[in-house]
Amino acid sequence: MQDSPSNEARLELLRHGILDLHGEFDENMAVFVRKAMTMLAAYGRSEIEVRLTSGGGNCQIGLHIYDMIRVHPAKKLIRGYGYTHSMAGVLLQAGDRRELTAHSSMILHDV
């Protein structure tokens, strides 16, 4: 299992306009994204980067996260690292700009 950045590291990334999302789309991720988007708005960031690595997760929660990111007024770059599967591939579409790194993969499927 991949180590996650500490809360301090994630907060430091937010100060630089970077939202690090990794792991399953669940309630914990939704709570984190809500707080993070509020902080990014308070920082007045005009551009943000979402770093995404996920195998997917709960569809309803994923759509909630999609909406929170999509309605944020900043220009959004969403960059997939490693794997952006299932709901993560949908979330990738919330960006104004979308990228996958050279050795990453994306899987979309019917729901």
- For 10-38, what is each residue's pLDDT tens digit? 899 999 999 999 999 999 999 999 999 99
Q: How far apart are CA 78 and CA 25, in angstroms?
A: 16
CA 60 to chain centre: 15
Q: How many CB atoms are closer than 10 A to CB 27?
A: 11
Query: Which pLDDT tens digit goes with each residue over 41-85?
Result: 999 989 999 999 999 999 999 999 999 999 999 999 999 999 999
Query: Strand, coil or helix: what is 8?
Result: helix
What's the chain's length in residues?
111
Q: Which residues contact 8 (CB under 8 A, 6 or more apart)?
A: none
Cβ proximity of 77 and 40 under 8 Å:
no
pLDDT in tens, 47-59: 999 999 999 999 9
Secondary structure (DSSP) of 77-97: EEEEEEEEETHHHHHHTTSSE
* Predicted TM-score (pTM) of this structure: 0.89
Give the containing element (helix H, strand E) for 38.
helix 27-43
Helix (H, G, I), strand (E, B) or coil at 62: helix
Percent of the chain with pLDDT over 90: 87
For the chain, the average pLDDT equals: 93
Per-residue pLDDT band for 1 (boundaries 50, 70, 90) equals very low
